A and B are shown apart, each in its own frame.
Chain A
Amino acid sequence: MKRLVVGAHYGLMDWLAQRVTGVLMAIYTVIIFAAMLGGATASREAWQAFMANGFIRFITFLFIISLCYHAWVGVRDIWMDYVNPAAMRVILHVLTLLALVGYAGWAVQIIWRL
C-alpha cells in the first residue's frame, strides 16, 4: 500500500534524538561508574574536585541537555498516549516543557559555578 507520509518527519527526528541522547547518557553513566570505582565519590572533597574538572563539566553539561531532551520526548509520548482532550494535553505539554527547561537551567548552573 502506497501511503502519503505527511508532516515534517518529527517522528523520525524524535526517534533518532531518543537514541542519540540515550547512547550519550549510557556512555556518561559508564564514565561516572568507572570514576566511582576509582574513588571519585570516596569523600565529599574527592567528589567536588572530580566535578570541578573541565572535561567532566563538559560531558556533564551534555548529559543534562540529553536527559532533558530525552525526558521531553518520553513524557510527551506518555501524554499523547493517555490524555485525549486536546486542551488538557496542550497544558501538560507546556508544563512538562517548562519544568524540563527550568531543570536544565538549574542543573547547568550547579556545575557552572563550581
Chain B
Amino acid sequence: MPEMIKERPKHLALHQIRLPLAGYASILHRVSGAGMFLMLPLLIWLFELSLGASAESAAVFKAVMDNILVKLILLGLLWAFLHHFCMGIRILLIDVHVGVEKQQAHGSAIAVLIVSLFLTLVFGLKLLGAY
C-alpha cells in the first residue's frame, strides 16, 4: 500500500515534544519500569541480606540500609513502584473499558500522578525513619 506511506512531520526533538498529561503518566510508567529493572540486583541482594541467618548478614544489611545513597535509590524505587502500580491499575481499568473517555482518562492520569507521589511521601518518610 504505497499510497499510505507519506511524508509526515517527525518531532523527535525531546525538548519540543508536548504531551498531554496522560502521555507523561504513560512515559513515566516506562521510565519507572526500566529503573526498577536496572535496580533489581540491589533489591534481590537486600532481600537476601534481610533473610540471612548469620550475624554478619544482619550487620551488612543494616550498614547498607543506613547508607544515604541507598536510601535515596530506595526512595526513587518506592516512587517507581507506586507509580507503576497505580498506572497498572489504570491500564487494567481501561482494558475493561472503564474511564476510556477523554475527560475521565485525563482525570485518572492526574489521579495516578498525585496518588503515587502522595503514597511515596507517606511510605518514604517511614523509609527515612521519620516515624
Contact = CB atoms under 8 A, between A and B. Distances in A.
The A contact surface, by secondary structure, is: helix
B89 A75 contact: no
B99 interface: no
A44 B58 CA distance: 8
B131 interface: no
A71 B33 contact: yes
A78 B95 CA distance: 21
Interface in A91-113: 99, 103, 106-107, 110-111
B51 interface: yes
B23 interface: no
A26 B82 CA distance: 11
Contact of B88 (A22, A47, A75, A110): A22
Interface in A75-96: 75, 78
A114 B51 contact: yes
Given A19-B92, A29-B85, A110 B33 contact: no
Interface of B: 30, 33-34, 36-37, 40-41, 44, 47-48, 50-51, 53, 58, 85, 88-89, 92, 95
